[in-house]
Structures are given as C-alpha cells and as structure tokens.
Structure 1
Amino acid sequence: MFITLKPHKPHYENVPFEVPESWMWTTIEEICSKIGSGSTPRGSNYSANGIPFFRSQNVYNDRLVYDDIKYISEEVHQKMKGTEVLANDLLLNITGGSLGRCAVVPADFNCGNVSQHVCIIRSVLVEPEYFHALVLSSYFAKSMRITGSGREGLPKYNLEQMGFPLPPLTEQQRIVAEIEHWFALIDQIEQGKADLQTIIKQTKSKILDLAIHGKLVPQDPNDEPAIELLKRINPGFTPCDNGHYTQLSDGWTVCRLEQVTNYEQPTAYIVNSTTYDDSYLTPVLTAGKSFIIGYTNETAGIYSNLPCIIFDDFTTDSKKVDFPFKVKSSAMKILKIHKDIEIDYVAMFMSITRLVGDTHKRYWISEYSKLEIPIPPKAEQKRIVYAAREIFTQLDEIMESL
C-alpha cells in the first residue's frame, strides 16, 4: 500500500540508487504531515515537573534518555502546542555535535515538547521504525545538506527535500522485522563478547593469584630457598610470620614490599607544559587507568632508570614501565625493585593487591610498602613470569580477535 503523493510532485528526480519496481522515490516532505522544531520557553521557564521537554541531549539513536530531562508547565505547553510530541514521532537532532541522532517516540508515550535543536518528523503511512532505520543509514548521513561554519545545522528545507526510498507498507513491516531480528542477534553476539572479555579479565586475575601462591608452576627442590636470596640482599633479614600466607610452598618466604624496593619521588620528572601532541616523543604517565595521558617534546627531566614500577599514591594503581617517560604530577612514587628480585613478579603481586579507603591519603609510606609479599626462589620467579606471559599472550590474542 502506498500513500497518495501530492500531484505537483509525481516523482523524485536525481535518484541516488535504484530501488525495486514496487518501491518509489519521493521526498521526506511528501510523506510527512509535520516537520518542524520547537523553541526554548521564554526565560528558560522550566518546571520541577509537568510536561517532558526534550533537548538534543535527551535524543539518542536507540531511545529517548530522561537523564537531565527538563519539564514545562501545562500552560507553557499549550502555548507551544504546535510542537507537541506524539507517540511514534521521530525526534531528530538538527544542530550541534549530536546532529543526526534520531529516536522513535514509544507507542505508549503520553505527551511532550521539544527545543529548537530537535525536529519532530511525523510521517503518514510509513512505519516509524523503517523511517528511523533510513535516518540512521549511511545514505541519510551522506545526503544531509548541513549549513553553518560555527554551530552546524540541518535546515528544514534541506531535510524536506531529501530523497526517500519508499517501499509498500507491508514490505516496510517485513524490513523492520528483519532488521529487528538481525539486531537481536548482534546484541547477543555483543553481550557474548562482553561476557567473554569479563571472563578473560577474571582468568588473568586468577592466574596472578595462583602465581603468588606457588600454584602456577611446579617447585624444584634444587632451587635455592628464597630466604637465602633475601639474606644476601639484607644480611639482617628476618622473615615475616606468614600470617597471611599460612601454606607457603617449599623454598618460599615472606617479606615486606619495602624490603625489596626503593622509592623515588617524581618531582624532578613532572612535565612543565600540558600541551601534548602525539607527534612528540616522550610519553607523560599517570599510574591510573589512562596511563599514557599524552606526549611531550620536553627533553629535560626524563626518567630513564629502567625498568621501574609507577605507583599511584592515592588509588594504589600500579604499572610496570620499561621506556623513558615524564609524569603528570607528584601523586605517585617511582619504585625500583632489587636487581635480584624479578620486577615482573612484583608487578604481578601489586596488580592484584589494592588498598581501598580514603582517596586523599598517600598510601606508599604509611601502608602499602608494609604489605607482605610471598617471595619464591629466584629460579621459580623466572618460571612464574614466563608461564604467566605465555598464558596472557594467548588470552590477549583471544581478546583481540573478538
């Protein structure tokens, strides 16, 4: 079934691509009873509750978002009755950075209104979900004739004149059903990927836990016991009482982190300018999730006594670093591990050992350096590091293939 086109425009010229015989090209203007944006209430006259007032930040491709929604009174709404939002309308952002975002108003929607940055598109005998699919297509994005050099916009006339490939109504419904079918499968795949990524992260954490408890690689009775190694590092070394590690493997012992590390304040390595550029050579680091926050062209004050571990003194995040760098701020410590202790082993321990509490507190000197770390024989440290790397490489390959 087709809609009846206006007689002065029997067809659409300059067809962008061929469509099936039962389809036809028309314009968006020809298939809509309403195309128009709203306005902002005088003096931003919003209410604590009332009629939802949709702005561009409330319109997303998959739904209307009610975070930070504004409301207008019934009185204001009546004055703006010409831009009332109805069920099954399309709301299209027509200005700014979110230009082109579009959502279908749910069928059970009650009442609403829009700002001047949002356009209401109300079609006639066109499935709103089919229209929505077209708006989100690459064809629509390439066809938008946007104006403005500052805040870009899509003028109403340009939107009205855009070509619209129109199938019969029953075929629109079949197209929508097929899109929903495939999107549901895609969502299942994406959820499966997310679940697998979570499992991989949990697996890595478990591997590290096994590593520091002597369960990742077999022990060798011929290995020199770790206590002898620690006594060479510090002739007066006395093992901890194993309070947290009651079932240590043979040849292992426990010490405090500060007994195998030295720390340095990062003051001499703080970057002077935060004007970063990816073309510069020296990375600027933070121990948090962002890690490399930019690159600097500064040549003085570059840390190069490598490898080392950077430690966020507030969050207790840590990262092993094996390349020259500068740092963002003084909110970290730079740790050097004793040459007879595998730095990768210590980094493993620190990566799964966090202290959570007062984020305004500096942790290294007062608490974290006092943590007990189980130390295996030196040869076993190497075997642990090698085994963990092998497993992590395989897990990373799986992650990258997702």
Structure 2
Amino acid sequence: MDTKKLRQKILDLAIRGKLVPQDPNDEPASVLLERIKAEKERLIKEGKIKKSKKSAKTSDTPHYENVPFEVPNNWVWTTLGEIFNLQAGKNITAKDIFTRQDTDHRFPCYGGNGLRGYVSSYNREGHFPLIGRQGALCGNINEANGQFYATEHAIVVDTHCETNIDWAINVLLYLNLNQYATSTAQPGLSVGTINEVMIPVPPLEEQQRISQRINDWFALIDKIEQGKADLQVTIKQAKNKILDLSIHGKLVPQEPNDEPASELLKRINPKAENTCDNGHKWKLPQSWCLIKLKEAFTINPRNKANDDTDAGFVPMTNISDGFSNLFDYELRLWGKIKSGFTHFADDDIAVAKISPCLENRKSVILQNLPNNIGAGTTELHIFRSNYTIPLYGLYFFKSNYFIGECVGTFNGVVGQQRVGKNVVEDILFPLPPFAEQRRIVQKIEELFSALDNIQKALEV
C-alpha cells in the first residue's frame, strides 16, 4: 500500500467536497467570506494588518470563472489572499539561533525550511500555518502553536472568523505551493504570488467535519505506516538471524559425504591454524574449520601501474546499503601513481572500512569489471579467495559478528572510525566444507527472496 498516494487521494477528495456529505443547514461559504472581508477591513483600519495589493483576479464579489474544478453549491472559489492574511516574519541573525532549547532560548524559530532552532524572544503568538518562502523546500507547510519566532523566510498564515486551522493546513499542503517558486539557484516564493493562488472554500461547519475525517484517516494511515516500519525492522532482524545461523553451521544440515573443511584448508593454506575444537565458543560442526581471515583470503592485493593510468574507482557511496549486492564504478584518470594500488578483479569482495558505512553493510562482490580497474585503500578492503564461494564470504562480511569485531580508530570525524587491515586480518572466519557453502548460499538466497517479496509488497 502506497500510503503517500493514499494521503494525497484523501486530500484530493477533501478539496473537491467529496470526503464528507454536505449539510443544507450549513452557513454558505460566501457568507463566511463576506464576514472575513469585513474583519480584515476592521483590522486594517486598526493598523493590525496591512492591506494587500489588489490583483487582477480580485473582485468585490467572491466569484471566479474558469475554475480548476467544480465544487458543491454552498462552497465558493476565492484566493489565498482573500481568505487569509499572509505576512513574512522578521530577519534574525544566525548567531542568535541555538540548536538546542534551554531556559534562555526557549522559543522555536521557523525559517524557510521549517524549524531552525531556538531563540530568546518571539514575534508571533497563536496557532498558525506557516509557508516556507525561501530555499530548496520553499512552499513546505509547517504548523506553529504558542509563542514562536518567524523569520523573513517564513510566511505566517493568519486565519479569520474561526476558519478551521487544520483545514487550512491540509488545503495548503494540497496546493503544492512549491510549483510557484522562481527557478533560480535559491528558489523563492513571493507573498504576492501566493496571494493569487485560487482555493475552494467550504462552509465553516464543513471545514470542521472535513478536518475531523482527515485526522481520522491520517491516524489510521499512521498506524499502517508504523506497522510497515515494524515489519521492515522484523525483516532486517530475520536476515541478521539467517546470517548468524549460516556462519555457525545451523542453517542447513551437514552431509557426512562432504569433503571436510580441513582438506579444503590444506589447499588454501597448509600452514593455517585450525582453531576449532569442541571447547571453542563457536561450537562449529566437526566438518568445519575456524581460521583467521588472513589465512582464508588475500587482503588488499596490490598491482603496479604506470603513471596517468585510466583506472576504475568504486567509492563506498557507490555500494548499496543493507543486504543487496549492487554497486557501480567510475572510470577516472588515476594520476601520478608512485606505488602499487589495490587491484580489483571479478569475484573480489569489497567491504567498507569506515563506519557508519560498515554498519550499513556496505559490502559487495565485484563483477563484470573492465580490464584495468583499481583503487586506493582509503575506503574499501578487498578480499580475494580461490577456495571459498564468493557469496558465502559476502554473507559473512554482512553478518553482525564480523561488523561487531571491526573496532577501528577515529579518523577526525565524530562518530566515524577507520578499521585497518591489522584488525580485519585476525578476525575469525568459519570455513564450512565447499559443498556445504553452496547449500548455505542457496538457502540464504531462498529465504532472502521470500523476505524481499514481503519488502516489495510493503512498498506498493
């Protein structure tokens, strides 16, 4: 279920007068508009609001031809400038805005993209919709309630004659005001432009019924979205559990006719030490071996290259997150190469060496590479083995066990660690018989496929 489209459909029905039934006893919207007009004229005389400039569309009677769509008889078409009073806030310097709220800076400050932070004073008080008028998100709608500060990049929407605030917010959301922004490097909206945007207005009583129905529907959609989010977490947890079972020899049954991993280990590295025994915490099947990664893989293999070599580069950003196996490379002029560089080859496993990319399971099998492709070792560790199935290795590198063992050093960025080769090479690697590796990979892909189908269903 596409809940975003469902929300939009509900707003579309509401704006056209099709969400709730009309009541013939409601005061017509034309009468409401006359009362709003009278109230605004009074406030202008008292100097509380400024008189807006008359547009070509504005008339003394709330009637328009060539309206976008028909609405019920007791509704009326008008403009935002006629039913509301739109006014931008006041300038404030960035140094006066604090990211955290405290006793000295307790008033929320709203700008063009929503909440900017907290300030020591306020310039508006009440319940208002806000329209962002500057920045990439101009036209976005926020809600302010209580004492707050509106900057010059936020338009405060004053309502009159008890116009329903929730209805006003929802109709502003529907209008997608960003479409009226200027096409410049810094998009912006003028109050004059927004004033002329047409809007269908229902009777006051129907506004309240519409708002209540929208709130009811949106509350139900919120529950659906929370359920989807919970299920997505469950899917992720299920995949983690599958990988955990797979590297502990508990995902598929062992076959007594399989060649033991000890024989495979002799071909990989005759000098490798098998640390697996009955007393080890892993408690692996008897046919498995437990060795260090540096004994199972060649880590960061190096090649020589000439100066000004065109070589491929696979940044961490080009590797997909999570449990997928997608990546793309960039072909670059390598520049003056004075030393060897890490060579990429088909079936190599590339693993992020920097957190939080590592925690996001940024690891992938490199395949279908051009002939001359390589990269430095600033972002990725490369693992190569001729004796393990690449997908089995990949799933190991995506497991919580491997990620949990990757404790690196901070590299100048808060919360970010770089995990060196000296750390990963000594991490223990559970090696099953070669035939069992195939069965493990087949079972993982079968289970992941079923979970992915559930995931896709959530996104429809």
CA deviations 1:301-353 (Å, max 9, x no partner) are 8955210112334445643322425547534322101x222222222222211
Asked if residue 98 in structure 1 is aligned to residue 137 in structure 2, the reply is yes
CA drift at 1:266: 6.8
Q: Which residue of 1 aligns with 2:17?
A: none
Q: Which amino acid aligns with 1:255?
A: I
d(CA) in 1 for partners of 2:240 and 2:264?
Answer: 27
Q: Does 1:21 align with 2:73?
A: yes
Residues 1:296 and 2:326 are matched in the alignment: no
**Letter aligned with residue 52 of structure 1:** F
Tell me how far apart the structure 2 counterparts of residues 91 and 321 of structure 1 sit (CA, whole Å).
Answer: 49
Tell me how far 1:234 sits from its aligned partner: 2.8
| Contact 1:287–1:319 (CA under 8 A) maintained in structure 2 | no
Match of 1:276 in 2: none
Unpaired runs of 5+ in structure 1? 60-64, 78-83, 274-280
- 2:315 is matched with 285
Is the aligned partner of 1:129 residue 2:160?
no
Q: In the alignment, which of 337, 346, 353 is matched to residue 306 of structure 1?
A: 346
Amino acid corresponding to residue 330 of structure 2 in structure 1: T
Q: Which residue of 2 aligns with 1:164?
A: 199
- The answer as to 2:252 corresponding to 1:202 is no
Please state how far the C-alpha of 1:296 moved relative to its aligned partner.
2.9
2:50 alignment partner in structure 1: none
TM-score (norm 2): 0.71
Q: d(CA) in 2 for partners of 1:244 and 1:51?
A: 57
Indicate yes or no: 2:268 matched with 1:213: no
Q: Against the structure 1 CA distance between its residues 147 and 327, is the aligned structure 2 distance closer, same or farther, given a 3 Å change threshold? A: same
Counterpart in the other structure of 1:379? 435
- How far apart in 2 are the matches of 1:248 and 1:150? 60
SS at match of 2:70: coil
Classify 1:289/1:202 alpha carbon distance in 2 versus 1 (closer, same or farther; 3 Å): farther
CA contact (8 A) 1:90 1:120 kept: yes
**Contact preservation (8 Å) 1:310, 1:318:** yes
C-alpha separation in 1, matches of 2:303 and 2:192:
59
The alpha carbon displacement at 1:239 in A equals 1.6
Q: 1:126-174, CA deviations, whole angstroms, 9 ceiling, x for partnerless residues?
A: 111111111111x4538x6444644333222222222221111111011
Cα distance, 1:378–1:245 mapped onto 2, change above 3 Å: farther
For 1:151, the equivalent position in structure 2 comes to 186
Distance 1:220-1:120 versus aligned 2 partners, 3 A rule: same
The change in CA–CA distance for 1:133 and 1:230 in structure 2 (over 3 A counts) is: same
- Maintained 8 Å contact 1:307/1:320: yes
| 8 A Cα contact 1:286 1:293, kept in partner | no
* Offset from partner CA, 1:254-307 (integer Å, 9 cap, x none): 1111111112257879xx99xxxxxxx966332897678975343778955210
Q: 1:54 aligns with which of 102, 109, 121?
A: 109
Q: Provide the rounded CA distance (Å) in 1 between the counterparts of 2:216 and 2:348.
A: 51
- 1:21 is displaced (CA, Å) by 0.8
**Structure 2 residue 387 is the aligned partner of structure 1 residue 340:** yes
Structure 1 residues 112 and 268, CA gap change in structure 2 (3 angstroms)? farther
Query: Relative to structure 1, is the Cα distance of residues 328 and 88 closer, same or farther in structure 2, using a 3 angstrom cutoff?
Result: farther
| Alignment equivalent of 2:410, drawn from 341, 359, 380 | 359
Q: CA deviation at 1:375?
A: 1.5
Q: CA RMSD in A?
A: 3.3
**Residue aligned with 2:68, SS:** coil
The range that moved more, 173-182 or 154-163, is 154-163
Given that residues 91 and 104 in structure 1 are in contact (C-alpha distance below 8 angstroms), is that contact kept between their aligned partners in structure 2?
A: yes
**SS across alignment from 2:74:** coil
Count residues in correspondence: 369
Point out 4+ residue stretches in structure 1 off by more than 6 angstroms: 266-269, 291-294, 299-302
CA distances 1:216-256 after superposition (whole Å, capped 9, x unpaired): 11111111111112123333444215464452213112111
1:38 aligned residue: 89
Equivalent AA in structure 2 for residue 344 of structure 1: L
Name the SS for the 2:72 alignment partner.
coil
Contact 1:307 1:321 in 2 (8 A): yes
Equivalent position to 1:188, from 215, 220, 223: 223
Do the aligned partners of residues 241 and 381 (structure 1) sit closer, same or farther apart at CA in structure 2, a change above 3 Å counting?
A: closer
Q: Distance in 1 between matches of 2:232 and 2:195?
A: 44
Structure 1 residue 24, shift from structure 2 partner: 0.9
Tell me whether 1:88 sits opposite 2:98 in the alignment. no
Q: Percent identity?
A: 30
Give the 3 Å change call, closer, same or farther, for CA 332–302 of structure 1 in structure 2: closer
1:365 Cα shift? Answer: 3.6
Say if 1:287 and 1:332, in contact at 8 Å, map to a contact too. Answer: no
